[in-house]
Amino acid sequence: MPAWRGAAPVQAAIIHGDEVTGVTTFALESSMDSGAIFGQVTTQVGTEETAGQLLDRLSVLGAELVLQTVNAIESGEAKPVPQNNAEVSFAPKLSPAEGEINWKNPALAINRHIRGFTPKPGAWTTLDGNRIEIGPVEILQETQLLPGQMRVNKSEVCIGTGSSEIKLGDVKPAGKSWMSAGDWARGLRENSGAFTNG
């Protein structure tokens, strides 16, 4: 606080490329997340960390901070500090529709988008009209493919973006379980197809 008030602050931090995030204890007021701050703990955002993984880490930090805050209030040592409203940013709840990947975006932005939407509500794209959920990816140096264009071989699937290519990790085709992109690729024709740009 005051950054990323709202329902999806952790997801917003990842999607926007924040290097640091954290947890805050604050007084409740009628307006959203605007109360005076009792305590804060910050942590680095891992470069490959998903929203789910980061939320798990923050839940531990948050539990410790809540205990410290309660003890400080009970002892009379708590000194709440008003938030700086000039630094406020908002993070509304993410909708499933917003999870669609735009392959014309740079690879780094796509990487952050996917990580921010993982595990919920999920990042996805379409191939031949079929929806496919996409897990975290690896950014490559190659730039031969056009945005959304796919290169398939026996062990990997690479996709073109607005900058460099990315290599898919795990995917979830419609009606199926999560699987490695390599396993999924065995059912595709090599060097063919393109994902729909969001």
Same domain assignment for residues 68 and 130: no
Of 114, 123, 188, 194, residue with least CA distance to 159: 194
Provide the domain count of the chain. 2
pLDDT above 80 (res 197) = no
CATH number at residue 155: 3.10.25.10
pLDDT above 90 (res 193) = no
Confidence band of 194 (pLDDT split at 50, 70, 90): low
Cα–Cα distance list, 124 to 72, 93, 188 (Å): 45, 17, 18
Distance CA 137, CA 115 (A): 9
Residue 18: exposure state from Cβ atoms within 10 A (0-12, 13-18, ≥19): middle
Distance CA 190, CA 185 (A): 8
Element (H, E) at 139: strand 138-139
Per cent of the chain over pLDDT 70 is 95
Same domain assignment for residues 62 and 108: no
- Is residue 21 in a domain? yes
Average pLDDT, integer, range 39-63: 97
Checking DSSP bridges between strand 170-173 and strand 130-134, what pairing results, if any? antiparallel
Of 170, 143, 176, residue with least CA distance to 156: 170
What does DSSP assign to residue 125?
E
- Is residue 2 in a domain? no
Confidence band of 192 (pLDDT split at 50, 70, 90): low
Per cent of the chain over pLDDT 90 is 80
- Is residue 20 in a domain? yes
Average pLDDT, integer, range 163-172: 97
Same domain assignment for residues 103 and 181: yes
What does DSSP assign to residue 98?
G
pTM of the model: 0.91
Amino acid residing at 131? R
Query: Whole domain around residue 101: which residue ranges?
Result: 96-185
What the block records as the tokens of 162 is 């607005």
Q: What is the pLDDT, as a whole number, of residue 37?
A: 96
- Is residue 190 in a domain? no
Locus of tokens 């204890």:
25
Confidence band of 140 (pLDDT split at 50, 70, 90): very high
Same domain assignment for residues 42 and 66: yes
pLDDT above 70 (res 31) = yes
Q: What is the pLDDT, as a whole number, of residue 160?
A: 97
Q: What is the pLDDT, as a whole number, of residue 144?
A: 92
The distance from CA 179 to its chain's CA centroid, rounded to whole angstroms, is 20
- Is residue 195 in a domain? no
Distance CA 133, CA 123 (A): 6
